[in-house]
Amino acid sequence: MKGPVTIHLHRRKRGKKPSDPYPAPNFWIRLLDRTAIVAGFIGPIMTLPQIGEIYYFHNAAGVSALSWGAFAVLDLPFILYGFVHKNTLIKITYIGWLVANTAVAVGAIIYQ
């Protein structure tokens, strides 16, 4: 006898559409894809001045360890999502954010 979970999974399989082609045929979607890739790499890099201020000058004035620690913890579900859905862009982006946010949070704890 099939349970409700098994029936649900089979219905999901039947209703699943193939994924969109990459690169997309539409210019604007290709532009959006490329912009997302660039933003995924630049975002965590933009945290480097904050990390430098904390570790080079030993100055964490005005930096909330709680906020940056929370940002780091909230990166974990996105990393897990990237692994589950096999999306390398999400994995790389949020691992970068996790490293950057953790570095700021630890520095804020050490130098306050």
Q: What is the pTM of this model?
A: 0.78
Confidence of residue 19 (pLDDT cuts 50, 70, 90): confident
Give me the domains of the chain, ranges plus CATH numbers.
Answer: 21-110 (1.20.1280.290)
CB atoms within 10 A of CB 92: 16
Place of tokens 């994995």: 91
pLDDT digits 0-9 by tens, 25-79: 889 999 998 999 999 999 999 999 999 999 999 999 999 999 999 999 999 999 9
30: Cβ contacts below 8 Å, ≥ 6 apart: 23, 24
**Per-residue CA distances from 105 to 82, 96, 98 (Å):** 23, 14, 10
Task: Tell me what pLDDT residue 24 has.
Answer: 83
Categorize the per-residue pLDDT at 2 as very low, low, confident or very high, splitting at 50, 70 and 90. low
pLDDT (average), residues 83-109: 96
For residue 48, the model assigns a pLDDT of: 97
Residues whose CB falls within 8 Å of the CB of residue 75, separated by 6 or more in sequence, listed in order: 94, 95, 97, 98, 101
What average pLDDT does range 10-19 have in this prediction? 60
- Collapse the DSSP code of 25 into the 3-class scheme (helix H, G, I; strand E, B; otherwise coil) and give the result: coil
